């Protein structure tokens, strides 16, 4: 019996002694689930586990995965409406990664909102590199950097996310610093604001971002005289290492000073490839100096559309999808031509009226 018991014990150890390697899924909801708190589920989970969230609104803040390689998975309702939403209600940031998380720590398919913190209102990463997939990060703010996301010393992956309507001092949508190498792929970054004036959509300093197939639109920087900023409505790069912008559309962004689309400062020299940088104000791609950093540069990798006109087909000046009289009016406005200045002498007087009368009934060539 002792020998049999020993064999059984050995087999049990062989098959079940490493039971933590079998991934488990834990559910979180108000009632009838494994847990009622996301943080409690995280604390219980092991590497490889999945935490499945219902398509409801959760009110939690400063969620920390504690270095675990787990997936936190949101869902939508059966009819496609309703989505998992984590709302911090301005009681702190939403997610905080600071325990060495790697790419196997995944946040997926949820809305991240209501975050308020000093750094990274929606997501804050330091010495951690999680993967954020299919998330909407909106309505967050930080007093310093990264209204939506802020990362230091990180190789974060941000994939197929919508990062909208976030606000911070610098990097309204995303902020990266201190040797961060973010991969930002297939994202929409829109409607974010930098109040200090450094990167309405994306701000990177001392980092090496790779930005691919993203739409970066309608982001803004203000001018704060205490910071003397106003740079990079879409993207702001200062003293960055190798940086690559590929197949992106950067349009409708505004900088209070310069670099409506992209502003490169200091040692930054981003390579821009197959991208449309158009319709930004007051300009498209500029190099500038701030705080003694030196003037940046940029490399045209080819296949780019760079224009003060809105992105779109030829002749679609106002970007409304068709070519008509409104485009002619918009073109005149862009060129600074007064509608009533028929003879183009920069004033409207009797000569313009006589020009109209003289040509009345004729056929224009």
Q: Could you state, in order of their start, the residue ranges of all structural domains in the chain? A: 21-322, 335-365
Query: What is the predicted pLDDT for the residue at 177?
Result: 94
CA 121 remoteness from chain centre: 13
Residue 294: phi and psi, rounded to 5, are 90, 160
Query: What is the predicted pLDDT for the residue at 154?
Result: 97
Query: What is the predicted pLDDT for the residue at 7?
Result: 38
Instruction: Read off the tokens for 15.
Output: 């098959």
Which residues does 216 contact at the CB level (< 8 Å), separation at least 6? 189, 190, 201, 202, 234, 235, 248, 249, 250, 251, 253
Query: Which bin fits 201, alpha (ψ -120 to 50), beta or left (φ > 0)?
Result: alpha
Q: Which residues, in sequence order, are bridge partners of residue 188?
A: 162, 215
CA angle at residue 204 from 102 to 73, to 5 degrees? 35
How many other CB atoms sit within 10 Å of the CB of residue 268? 28
Which of these CATH numbers, 2.160.20, 2.60.40, 1.10.3470, 3.40.720, describes 21-322?
2.160.20
- Mean pLDDT of successive 10-residue stretches along the chain, which has 365 residues: 38 43 92 98 98 97 98 85 92 98 97 98 98 97 98 97 98 96 98 98 97 98 93 97 97 97 96 96 92 88 93 61 60 57 60 61 56
Instruction: Read off the tokens for 247.
Output: 């197949």
Please report the beta strands in 139-192, taking only residues with DSSP state E, as ranges in sequence order: 141-145, 149-152, 157-159, 162-164, 167-170, 174-177, 183-185, 188-190
Q: Cβ(285)–Cβ(261) under 8 Å?
A: yes
For 156, what's the count of Cα atoms within 13 Å in the CB-facing half-sphere? Answer: 30
Residue 42: phi and psi, rounded to 5, are -60, -45
Query: What pTM, to 2 d.p., does this model score?
Result: 0.82
Instruction: Read off the tokens for 316.
Output: 């679609």
Which residues does 150 contact at the CB level (< 8 Å), separation at least 6? 119, 120, 123, 124, 125, 142, 144, 168, 171, 174, 175, 176, 177
CA 215 remoteness from chain centre: 9
């Amino acid at each position: 019996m002792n020998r049999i018991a020993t064999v059984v014990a050995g087999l049990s150890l062989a098959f079940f002694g490493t039971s933590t390697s079998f991934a488990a899924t834990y559910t979180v909801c108000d009632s009838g689930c494994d847990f009622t708190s996301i943080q409690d589920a995280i604390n219980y989970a092991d590497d490889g586990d999945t935490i499945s969230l219902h398509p409801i609104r959760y009110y939690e803040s400063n969620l920390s995965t504690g270095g675990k390689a787990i997936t936190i998975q949101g869902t939508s309702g059966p009819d496609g409406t309703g989505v998992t939403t984590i709302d911090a209600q301005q009681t702190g940031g939403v997610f905080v990664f600071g325990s060495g998380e790697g790419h196997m720590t995944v946040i997926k398919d949820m809305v991240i909102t209501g975050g308020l913190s000093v750094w990274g209102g929606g997501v804050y990463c330091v010495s951690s590199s999680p993967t954020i997939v299919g998330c909407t990060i909106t309505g967050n703010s930080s007093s310093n950097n990264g209204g939506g996301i802020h990362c230091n010393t990180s190789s974060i992956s941000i994939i197929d996310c919508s990062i909208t309507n976030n606000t911070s001092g610098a990097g309204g949508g995303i902020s990266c610093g201190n040797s961060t190498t973010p991969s930002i792929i297939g994202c929409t970054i829109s409607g974010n604001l930098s109040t200090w004036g450094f990167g309405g959509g994306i701000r990177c300093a001392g980092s090496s971002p790779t930005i691919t197939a993203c739409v970066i639109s309608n982001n803004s920087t203000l001018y704060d005289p205490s910071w003397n900023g106003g740079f990079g409505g879409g993207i702001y790069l200062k003293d960055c290492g190798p940086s690559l912008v590929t197949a992106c559309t950067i349009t409708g962004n505004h900088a209070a000073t310069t670099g409506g689309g992209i502003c490169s400062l200091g040692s930054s020299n981003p390579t821009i490839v197959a991208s449309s940088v158009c319709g930004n104000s007051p300009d498209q791609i500029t190099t500038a100096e701030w705080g003694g950093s030196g003037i940046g540069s940029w490399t045209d990798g080819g296949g780019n559309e760079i224009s003060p006109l809105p992105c779109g087909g030829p002749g679609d000046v106002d970007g409304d999808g068709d070519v008509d009289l409104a485009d002619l009016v918009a073109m005149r406005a862009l060129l600074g031509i007064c509608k009533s200045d028929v003879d183009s002498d920069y004033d409207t007087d009797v000569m313009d009226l006589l020009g109209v009368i003289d040509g009345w009934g004729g056929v224009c060539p």
